[in-house]
Amino acid sequence: MRTEDFSYSLPPEAIAQAPATRRDASQLVVVHRASRSVEFSLFQHLQNHFRPGDVLVANNSRVIPARLRARKVEGGGHLEVLLLAPSPEGGWWVMLRPGKRVRPQTRIAVTHPTHSIHATVLDKAPDGRCRIAFDPNVDVLALAEECGEIPLPPYIQREAPQEVDRDRYQTVYSAHPGSVAAPTAGLHFTPELLHRLQSNGIEFRTITLHVGLGTFAPVKVDRIEDHVMHAESYRVPAETADAINRAKAEGRRIIAIGTTSLRVLESVAAAHHGRMAGGEGETRLFLYPPARFQVVDALLTNFHLPRSTLLMLVSAFAAPGTTEGRTLILETYQQALARGLRFFSYGDAMLLL
């Protein structure tokens, strides 16, 4: 399929620039895949679409304040450092902006309120990432918490993140720091809503996938089959794997909260003959029409960017094993736009049943 097949027109005013007044105040579009019908609801009524025995699986990765302000030691040019992930070879993979003219061995100084912290560019990858090494004994995650900014996506147009973003660009169940973008489907949940769901017999389980370039890197090729995903690390607790295997054996539904959760579950199932297993690993799974799905029965997600891997995944899930889901999703997006729904990270939600 062509990347252009997943384009659509989006007026700028449809892009949510701030979170809703309350997490669960968002609107909810429910897509019934079998009948290809669509209904409009509110996220706070989510429980109306679930059954006792359903298993919700959420990504509990925590967004780190991954954007650091820095400058070149020689020449003093300003830089923005976006932390991506620790490198197995040592140091951290980052994106530098502007980074085109940054060469290996360039020394940079991170802006810190009380003292100087330096790093050295070790090498550059063909995709533009840089591997840098911080001064010895620097706790990078602690540095980010002290000096970093929440890495809001570029379509949220502010000079800098606001204090509200530290709370609202984070799920209420986030636990393990490591993501550079939020698993946004989970942003709508409140502790009260989760409690209500569990009181109604719905299980809540977690996995961890640290969101990096693999999730939000743009598709730059004409044929989507030629796109290569970046690896992202994940962990599946044994109790989550056991709960899913029990539910599948008993005919109960598995509902992924977000595309990241879905990719983890389907990655593990592909490696274990359709069953879940606890453990850690990396995934480069890229799902697009006409993909099939072994574990996930329903998907809660947000509205995604044109030409993105996330839009391709949702299109595949809308009609597994066919290429018809793209039309259903793009038509649903147009209905959502006509009703004034809000798109992207701080926007409204979609449930595919």
What CA–CA distances, in Å, run from 223 to 3, 227, 327? 6, 7, 18
Q: For the residues 6-12, what does the mean pLDDT come to?
A: 97
Q: For the residues 303-312, what does the mean pLDDT come to?
A: 96
Q: Are 206 and 240 in contact (CB under 8 A)?
A: yes
Strand runs (DSSP E) across the chain, as ranges?
A: 27-32, 37-42, 55-59, 61-63, 67-72, 78-86, 92-97, 107-110, 117-124, 130-134, 176-179, 203-209, 232-236, 254-257, 279-283, 298-302, 349-352
Q: Are 53 and 201 in contact (CB under 8 A)?
A: yes
325-338 helix and 309-318 helix, angle to the nearest 10 degrees: 110
Please state, in angstroms and rounded to a whole number, the distance separating the CA atoms of residues 244 and 309: 26
Q: How confident is the model at residue 214 (pLDDT cuts 50, 70, 90)?
A: low
Enumerate the β-bridge partners of residue 133: 120
Q: For the residues 269-292, what does the mean pLDDT come to?
A: 97
Flag the least confident range among 69-73, 295-299, 344-348.
69-73
The token pair that represents 30 in the structure block: 């429910």
Please state, in angstroms and rounded to a whole number, the distance separating the CA atoms of residues 198 and 53: 10
| Nearest-10 Cα torsion for 17, 8, 38, 60 | -50
| Residue ranges matching CATH 2.40.10.240 in the chain | 67-147
Q: How confident is the model at residue 100 (pLDDT cuts 50, 70, 90)?
A: confident
Enumerate the β-bridge partners of residue 130: 94, 124
Residue positions counted in the chain: 353
Q: Are 265 and 317 in contact (CB under 8 A)?
A: no
What CA–CA distances, in Å, run from 56 to 47, 53, 110, 241? 11, 10, 40, 12
Q: For the residues 199-218, what does the mean pLDDT come to?
A: 89
pLDDT at 300 over 70: yes
Rg (CA), the chain: 20
Q: In Å, how far from its chain's centre is CA 37? A: 26
Q: Which CATH class is domain 3-63+165-352?
A: alpha beta
| Residue ranges matching CATH 3.40.1780.10 in the chain | 3-63+165-352
Please state, in angstroms and rounded to a whole number, the distance separating the CA atoms of residues 284 and 306: 20
What CA–CA distances, in Å, run from 27 to 46, 186, 275? 10, 14, 34
Residue-wise pLDDT tens digits, 170-200: 999 999 999 999 999 999 999 999 999 999 9
The set of residues, in sequence order, having a beta carbon less than 8 Å from that of 271 and lying 6+ positions away, is: 277, 281
Q: Would the pTM of this model clear 0.85, i.e. be above it?
A: yes
Q: Are 80 and 116 in contact (CB under 8 A)?
A: no
Please state, in angstroms and rounded to a whole number, the distance separating the CA atoms of residues 256 and 249: 17
Residue-wise pLDDT tens digits, 23-48: 999 999 999 999 999 999 999 999 99
Question: Selecting from 3.90.650.10, 2.60.120.10, 2.40.10.240, 3.20.20.80, what CATH number does the domain 67-147 have?
Answer: 2.40.10.240
Tally the C-alpha atoms within 13 A of residue 222's C-alpha that lie toward its C-beta: 0
Please state, in angstroms and rounded to a whole number, the distance separating the CA atoms of residues 336 and 339: 5
Please state, in angstroms and rounded to a whole number, the distance separating the CA atoms of residues 167 and 248: 35
Output the pLDDT for position 349: 98
Flag the least confident range among 44-58, 204-218, 300-314.
204-218
Q: Which of 128-132, 227-231, 295-299 has maximum average pLDDT?
A: 295-299
Please state, in angstroms and rounded to a whole number, the distance separating the CA atoms of residues 253 and 293: 13
Output the pLDDT for position 38: 98
The token pair that represents 345 in the structure block: 């990270």
